[in-house]
Chain A
């Protein structure tokens, strides 16, 4: 009996040893794997945006069977819940427990600012997917923070120049939301519009989540050649609807966010004819974009958005950065990201020395295409810097847009 047991034990022990070694081999493969943390809002007011970013990123991975640049990619998803303290804790957990190699995330600027201190200290590379938080790639740039989306003013400034020089409007009434994004967007448009030789004659701000836009629309100066508005989400829907309802007879131009694809789906005919500037449009006819649109809409059964494009492009950026890296750590990955150049669905993307993406700006006009309203690209302004045509040092010496609010009209 004892004998047999010993006989049995030997091979068992051998197998156990083998299993252990096998684990070790697995472990070595794991060293090669890269872990990416997705830190976007999945509940609260920005849940739909966060979900789009995550889905876009995940779709990119799925297209490559979970392996990019010859490495297995593990994804850790946390909900930042639109709350800076939740975001900070989650970032800490991702770095210290989950051992992530990079983080992709943040929609709300306040949340991004809140978590940025920790992320700067920890040194983990961060690709901001949506949040405007301008100073993270301007006055407070830290090296390991990159942004694939726009700053508050970056996509608005080309609109100001274009409206004055190309479209020939001489005076404009500008309307924005009364918080950082609104001041920066309106300020960016107004600065470029006036520096091109045109004039802002009225400036209005309405609170975020304004239930009734009519009082602001009724007071618009209809002597202006152009009304330029900055709105986002439901505010943009209500604003454009009130504009049409009250029959304002002035051409309407907007920041691109006011006619985002998922907003446009709700605005329909109200948005027809709106010209806007943004770094993306679903209608771009590049092979990269057509493939992306087809896969996203086929997989998730909803219209693509610039948020989904940001998620997809983050995957592309990481692939390019990881490609050719021998050892992946915070420093090597940060350095590699700083040098990448990719062809994303939106067109070429690279980062400037502050970590902000340099990309094309598209002038789009809402037109009916096969029964749907779309942002048809009517002009392209290639490789636009976040400082537009201004010198970065001079630009950073200007007072922040917050202080320039209410000074644009009547100068």
Chain B
């Protein structure tokens, strides 16, 4: 029983991490139809900047805030000067953002070196809790809470605020939105900045989970894409459900069939896409 509970909890916590990693990607894709393949690089950059700031300031939360702001601003500039030019051309977006990922990763290699680093966990979240037979790390439990908070905030922002309504209007009908006075380019810039900031936020939490190293940007991107695709492109609720679902499937898959560990994440994806190509909660493309 303790073992089953431990598996469920761990599946949920890894799933929460998956959602955090995918949330920024889902946001930019869902709200402005921009596919950002440099997402993993932003994640990595967030983790490294936070670690660097932690060394300078000795304050974990200040370092986290700094990383989120720096990478968020970088995202804004990236959108304004580059992504904006290829907004409705998917192939050009792919080439541009993949290229940016390589550039960022090489800068990280040059500046912080290629040795893997394991950033510390947030203060107060080290150690494990033991209840009877069950031992479970606090940090992993806290990930579930963090993911829930991020999900609820995003959902409220998009569905219950004026800004959310303006963004949705801009995606659905850009010309009409412009004609009623919504400054679409500014909104898109902000959305892209928010997506990048979320990537950095995930980089700080995820970095303490998986460690950071140049080259990790594409494994992170792959996980983010899996969740985004399963959830349905652009649906935040879908990404949340998909993150937790994929986390649980991966956990039980690896425990029960360790020899197929490489496929436990991808097999359900392939299966789902065969049955329901638009993902769990994706809208049908017009």
Chain A residues engaging chain B, CB cutoff 8 angstroms: 43-49, 51, 178, 204-207, 209-212, 214-216, 218-219, 233-234, 237-238, 241, 245-247, 262-263, 266-267, 302, 406
Contact = CB atoms under 8 A, between A and B. Distances in A.
Interface string B92-128: 0000000000000010010001111110000000001
Contacts of A209: 219
A233 B118 CA distance: 11
B3 to A, nearest CB: 7
B118 A44 contact: no
Contacts of B150: none
B113 A207 contact: no
Given A178-B261, A215-B254, A48 B115 contact: yes
Contacts of A245: 128, 135, 137, 139-140
A215 B211 contact: no
B109 A212 contact: no
B211 A204 contact: no
Given A43-B109, A218-B6, A245-B128, A211 B116 contact: no
A43 B113 CA distance: 11
Contacts of B139: 245
B185 interface: no
B116 A205 contact: no
Given A219-B255, A245-B137, A214 B10 contact: yes
Contacts, number: 105
A46 B114 CA distance: 8
Interface in B186-244: 209-211, 213-216, 219, 223
A207 B258 CA distance: 9
Given A215-B254, A216-B258, A247-B135, A237 B10 contact: no
Interface in B1-35: 3, 6-7, 10, 14, 17
B101 to A, nearest CB: 14
Contacts of A207: 261-262
B14 A206 contact: no
Nearest to B7: A218
Contacts of B261: 178, 205-207, 210, 216
B141 to A, nearest CB: 11
A120 to B, nearest CB: 30
B208 to A, nearest CB: 10
A178 B262 contact: yes
B179 interface: no
Contacts of A47: 109, 114, 214
A25 to B, nearest CB: 41
B128 A247 contact: yes
A44 B115 contact: no
Contacts of A212: 10, 14, 17, 209-210, 250-251
Contacts of B209: 211-212
A234 B152 CA distance: 32
21 contacts: A45-B215, A48-B113, A178-B261, A178-B262, A210-B261, A211-B209, A212-B10, A212-B209, A214-B14, A215-B250, A218-B7, A218-B255, A234-B210, A234-B213, A234-B216, A241-B118, A245-B135, A245-B137, A262-B115, A262-B116, A266-B118
A328 B11 CA distance: 61
A47 B223 CA distance: 23
B130 interface: yes
Nearest to A232: B116
B57 interface: no
Nearest 10 Cβ contacts at the A-B interface = A48-B114, A215-B254, A247-B135, A47-B114, A45-B215, A245-B137, A266-B118, A234-B116, A234-B211, A207-B262
A130 to B, nearest CB: 14
Contacts of A406: 259
Contacts of A238: 210-211
A51 B110 CA distance: 11
B99 to A, nearest CB: 15
A205 B254 CA distance: 10
A215 B255 contact: yes
Nearest to A46: B114
Nearest to A261: B115
Contacts of B106: 43
B211 A247 contact: no
Centre residue among A47, A48, A211 by max chain B CB count within 10 A: A211
B130 A247 contact: yes
A327 B216 CA distance: 47
Contacts of A219: 255, 258
A218 to B, nearest CB: 6
B259 A215 contact: no
A145 B164 CA distance: 64
B109 to A, nearest CB: 6
Contacts of A215: 7, 10, 250-255, 258
A300 B254 CA distance: 41
Centre residue among A214, A233, A302 by max chain B CB count within 10 A: A214
Contacts of B117: 266
B255 A237 contact: no
A210 B264 CA distance: 12
A44 B116 contact: no
Contacts of A44: 215
Centre residue among A44, A46, A49, A266 by max chain B CB count within 10 A: A266
Interface string B69-81: 0000000000000
B169 to A, nearest CB: 38
Given A218-B3, A266-B117, 18 more contacts: A43-B106, A51-B114, A178-B262, A205-B261, A207-B261, A211-B219, A211-B223, A214-B14, A218-B7, A218-B255, A233-B116, A234-B213, A237-B118, A238-B211, A246-B135, A262-B115, A266-B116, A266-B211
